[in-house]
Amino acid sequence: MTKVHYRLLQEHKGPQEFDSPETAGEAWCEALTRYTSEMQYLHTDGKWKTMATVGFDGHNPYKGMPFHNTPGAAEFIAAYNSAMGPDYQDPSRYSDGICF
């Protein structure tokens, strides 16, 4: 299995890089939603690709989740849910990048 690298970009902060989907998912849980934030992964072509972003529904921020075919998506989402706590650990809340 190829090792995937992840990078968290947040306004007013330097980039943070991670070597596992678990640590990237935990970091995404902690990422601020009041600013533009983005989680990326290093594609096999050597370019960083977006896997999750903060969006806004009117004035309400939300965090997108990676599509299931993104490298490490299952582990990323599981770590994100675990960091959120037991009230948020229902995997049926996520479907192809959308948190319900």
Q: What is the pLDDT of residue 90?
A: 56
Coil, strand or helix at 89: coil
- 């990323």: which residue's tokens? 76
Q: What is the pLDDT of residue 99?
A: 47
Rounded to whole angstroms, how far apart are CA atoms 80 and 14? 21
Q: What is the per-residue pLDDT across 16-59, written as a single tens digit (0 to 9) for each?
A: 999 999 999 999 988 877 778 999 999 999 999 999 998 888 88
DSSP conformational letter for 43: -
Vertex 33: Cα angle to 29 and 38 (nearest 5): 70
